[in-house]
Structure 1
Amino acid sequence: MFQVADITPAQRDAILRTEEGHFHDLKAIDIAPGKLTQTISAFANAAGGELYVGVGEKVVDYAKQRFWTGFQDPEAANGHIQAFEQVLPFGADCSGIFLRCPGENGIVLQLLVNKTRAICKATDGVAYVRRGAQKIPYKTDEQLARLRLDKGLTSFETETVAVDPNTVTNSETIIRFLISVVPTAEPAVWLAKQQLLRDGKPTVAAVLLFADEPQAILPKRSAIKLFRYKTTEQEGSRDTLAFDPITIEGSLYELIKTAVERTIQIVQGVQVYSADGLETIRYPKETVHEIVTNAVLHRDYSHQTDIQIRVFDNRIEVESPGTLPGHVTPQNILKEQFARNGALVRLINKFPDPPNKDVGEGLNTAFEAMRGMRLKDPEILQLDSSVLVKIRHERLASPEEAILEYLDVNSQITNAIARSLTGIGSENKVKDVFYRLRDLGKIERVPGLRGSASAWRKSRGGSA
């Protein structure tokens, strides 16, 4: 069934050094196949991963050492393969290959497991979820309900809210909406037809879209917190906070519009160094708009946490609660479409000048706009219970090119200016760039300047 591929001793050593964690696991062939299906289930229900079967482990001088101890031939792995296929049939979501290394004992089975749309259960009937190097069994109704929400199999937007239906049937928001979009409909009739009123109660989607103040009904999960940190460090702190966090509220349509406007307004007050000196920082408005829209429409509203937008000196961070739904991963997000909140995505598109004009193309637009300004692509990270997007003010030019370009029109450059210029937050990393340019004979230290005042200039020959 699976191809046998030859690998080099260096590739073998890389496998044996692989650290077990969220995306990798290594097991011996004598572990029961049913036990290994728990790892496959855990990978499939999280972000996917790689499983190597045929790697042993022993303790030598109190230290663990791995060794290659694979299957004698592909047929010897049939029992494992049959058990694996019961859990996750081989195809798009799971594939395998046998690895053979000259001089080693047997062949190792490498399984590549992708994140699946559906819940994947091991042969013991339990669904597992990968967390670091652990596989966590999800057995209780609450755990399985959470997993269905995480995978987008169910959505919190369909839950009903125990409030007076007048909050959505007689709001200014619904009246303005129906006048401009569906002039002949009565609010209650139209909302019921759209499955936004059930048993006389509004759904979460109805409240988010059409209540004038959703935050009063759904606190801690329907607003946006906006922060401004005067730093390029990895984390913001109270000391670097420029002002008290801003809380943005309102229906989703107004929430997106206001959040984008306020973010752009704050960004326009940030200055960075360029070859021509200090200049106001610029990001494509389309990028900010699309990423904020994506965070609002696709977040998991079952988490009682507000979206956060954090503006740093060298980047914008947008963090939305909940993991990526379905089979979507940071690697395939630009190609795959999966709407956790289908009603929100569909109905907000009916508003005048909707924030999601090109449904399914928002993130692609965000990336293209960054490239159009010669800025690096946004970075998308899936954390334990949230998705973080980083929009960096970092040029496509290398740090070395940016520093030399600056020195074409300026006599010298400091570490602080280089950090601002390149978007690199680490002082030591900038030092490494300086040292590389020095070793190439491109720059030298400015004589007489040391410590925090030290600076570099273009090389003039002689010793630096």
Structure 2
Amino acid sequence: MHIFEISDSQALSLLNLEENYLNDVKAKEIKPSKLSETVSAFANAAGGDLYIGIKENQSQSLNNWDGFTTREQANEIIHVLQKAHSFGNHLKFEFLANNNYQGYILHITVSKVKDIVKSSSGEVFIRSNAGKIKISTDEELAKLKLDKGIVSFENEWVDINIRLIEQSNSINKFIHNVIPHSEPRKYLLNQDIIRDEKCKVAGILLFTDEPPIYLPKRSSVKIMRYKTSSDDIGREFLDSDPLTVEADIYNLIYNSVEKTKSIIQGIKKLGEKELESIAYPEEALHEVITNAVLHRDYSIAQDVQIRIFDNRVEIESPGKLPGHVTVSNILDTQSARNPTLVRLINKFPSPPNKDVGEGLNTAFRAMEQLRLKAPIITEKDNSVLVIIKHEMLGSPEEIVLEYLSKNEEITNSIARGITGIKSENTMKNVFLRLKKRNLLEPNPDKKGSKSTWRKPKK
């Protein structure tokens, strides 16, 4: 295994490392069987990094480097973990060294995987904050399988009058686009979507005109407009009652995108000369909303939520990221939680997921083309949140100078609006840094509340 010589600053950062959802430190004396529980917890959650050979120091903020004298001393740990996790494709081992400290730190990178990962004793754990929780009931194990995408709620059966599906607008639009053509009942039977007087959840979502009748709180999108840029929101900022969008999943996606665009067009922002409508790339909104609807966890009785603010759009989808997908690899990997939904909706005319697997990549590219910052993706306890901010690419200094290449002067208020900076003082500091480099000067003809900045006059 490789030995990596790390710098003094990296060693200090390692000793200052705060244990959390993605990082853990352990003393070299830890029992391999206990360590395998932590590996199980990481692999069943979002993955993470383990550093073995660091002793926690309760009396000081800095932990103690207490590494292995030789690499062979770590053999028992490595052998037990490799035996417990026989394929080992989610484990990577390396040693870290630094001239100022004695011994080697064993660094174990644990990747998130789609399978359930057990400890050496056969027990199952999951990471929670800076610790681990044992999965001890069948219900908890079933929930973990749903979270990881091993099983999908889209395959659950629902009692329904099959004729309502055969006569729906959705199935008629769908069936005319399928090659070869087929009768609705025959096609759905062949696809294992219907059986007797039952239909799978995927079929309800795709082929009934009113899915909320059968799947309440699981098949709608709620859109809320908050008249604020603040992160601290309450009902007092709601512009009106939340809008609920309901339809078969094909129309649910398209209608949600159109409603969101319509609300955004009503938001005005101070432009170069007058109030202008805020513009988000339609492709970004479409792809993020499509992702939120198609890849959500339908076992959770919550609607997809779209929250529209003065300076951002938040799209929150119930359920954690499926399979081996993490926030860091989401643009480079795929793991469909609802493969039947993804496959069949792609057979509709003008499918919302036309370029399967390219959705979020398309959203990121669209934001960059408008010189807007990339979407922010966060995995929460029971949902995935995507934030599309109306903030320009580049440093505040670059944005200010670009503005002044087309305009005579700029105010603090305008500068905050185009850079996304909230504090008036922070924005003033940007001006002062530019002034120090002779790139900006205050307009001597305007003082106090009317003060502006401009490029230096020769």
Contact 1:48 1:114 in 2 (8 A): yes
Distance 1:432 1:80 in 2: 52
Q: Which residue of 158, 161, 169 maps to 1:161?
A: 158
- Identify the residue that residue 117 of structure 1 maps to in structure 2: 114
Superposed, 1:150-299 pairs within 5 Å as: 150-181=147-178, 184-299=181-296
The normalised TM-score by structure 1 is 0.92
Contact 1:276 1:409 in 2 (8 A): no
1:119 CA displacement: 0.9
- Identify the residue that residue 34 of structure 1 maps to in structure 2: 33
Q: Which SS does the other structure have where 1:244 is aligned?
A: coil
- Identify the residue that residue 14 of structure 1 maps to in structure 2: 13
- Identify the residue that residue 415 of structure 2 maps to in structure 1: 418
Quick one: which amino acid aligns to residue 244 of structure 2?
T
Distance 2:429 2:305 in 1: 33
Aligned length: 456
Contact 2:159 2:197 in 1 (8 A): no
Contact 2:443 2:454 in 1 (8 A): no
1:367 CA displacement: 1.8
- Identify the residue that residue 126 of structure 1 maps to in structure 2: 123
Contact 1:22 1:132 in 2 (8 A): yes
Distance 1:179 1:107 in 2: 65
Quick one: which amino acid aligns to residue 37 of structure 2?
Q
Q: Structure 1 residues 233 and 439 mapped into 2: Cα distance closer, same or farther (>3 Å)?
A: farther
Q: Which SS does the other structure have where 1:112 is aligned?
A: strand
Quick one: which amino acid aligns to residue 12 of structure 2?
D
1:32 CA displacement: 0.7
Distance 1:431 1:302 in 2: 49
Q: Structure 1 residues 173 and 64 mapped into 2: Cα distance closer, same or farther (>3 Å)?
A: same
Q: Structure 1 residues 429 and 138 mapped into 2: Cα distance closer, same or farther (>3 Å)?
A: farther
- Identify the residue that residue 394 of structure 1 maps to in structure 2: 391
Contact 1:37 1:84 in 2 (8 A): yes
Percent of aligned pairs with the same amino acid: 48
Q: Which SS does the other structure have where 2:285 is aligned?
A: helix
Distance 1:103 1:396 in 2: 41
1:418 CA displacement: 2.3
Q: Which stretch shows the higher mean deviation, 151-160 or 100-109?
A: 100-109
1:411 CA displacement: 5.3
Contact 2:54 2:65 in 1 (8 A): yes
Does 2:47 correspond to 1:51?
no
- Identify the residue that residue 458 of structure 1 maps to in structure 2: 454
Contact 1:29 1:71 in 2 (8 A): yes
Q: Structure 1 residues 145 and 426 mapped into 2: Cα distance closer, same or farther (>3 Å)?
A: farther
Distance 1:415 1:279 in 2: 18
Distance 2:426 2:242 in 1: 30
- Identify the residue that residue 86 of structure 1 maps to in structure 2: 83
Contact 2:160 2:197 in 1 (8 A): no
Q: Which SS does the other structure have where 2:144 is aligned?
A: helix
Contact 1:443 1:456 in 2 (8 A): no
Q: Which stretch shows the higher mean deviation, 92-101 or 136-145?
A: 92-101
Contact 1:419 1:425 in 2 (8 A): yes
Distance 2:119 2:143 in 1: 18
Distance 2:314 2:414 in 1: 22
Q: Which SS does the other structure have where 1:58 is aligned?
A: coil
RMSD: 2.3
Q: Which SS does the other structure have where 2:158 is aligned?
A: coil
Contact 2:16 2:62 in 1 (8 A): no
Quick one: which amino acid aligns to residue 312 of structure 1?
F
Q: Structure 1 residues 202 and 328 mapped into 2: Cα distance closer, same or farther (>3 Å)?
A: same
Distance 1:391 1:134 in 2: 31
Q: Structure 1 residues 350 and 425 mapped into 2: Cα distance closer, same or farther (>3 Å)?
A: farther
Q: Which SS does the other structure have where 1:188 is aligned?
A: helix
1:433 CA displacement: 2.8
The normalised TM-score by structure 2 is 0.93
Q: Which residue of 387, 405, 428 maps to 2:402?
A: 405
Q: Deviations over 1:381-406 (max 9, x none)?
A: 11111111112222223221222333
Q: Which SS does the other structure have where 1:376 is aligned?
A: coil
Q: Structure 1 residues 202 and 27 mapped into 2: Cα distance closer, same or farther (>3 Å)?
A: same
Q: Deviations over 1:141-183 (max 9, x none)?
A: 1111111111110000000113333332332322343345468
- Identify the residue that residue 24 of structure 1 maps to in structure 2: 23
Distance 2:366 2:139 in 1: 41
Quick one: which amino acid aligns to residue 39 of structure 2?
I
Q: Structure 1 residues 304 and 415 mapped into 2: Cα distance closer, same or farther (>3 Å)?
A: farther
1:28 CA displacement: 0.3
Q: Structure 1 residues 73 and 359 mapped into 2: Cα distance closer, same or farther (>3 Å)?
A: same
Contact 1:233 1:426 in 2 (8 A): no
Superposed, 1:312-351 pairs within 5 Å as: 312-351=309-348
1:33 CA displacement: 1.0
The runs of 5 or more residues in structure 1 that have no matched partner are: none
Quick one: which amino acid aligns to residue 356 of structure 1?
N
Contact 2:173 2:348 in 1 (8 A): no
Distance 1:400 1:206 in 2: 53
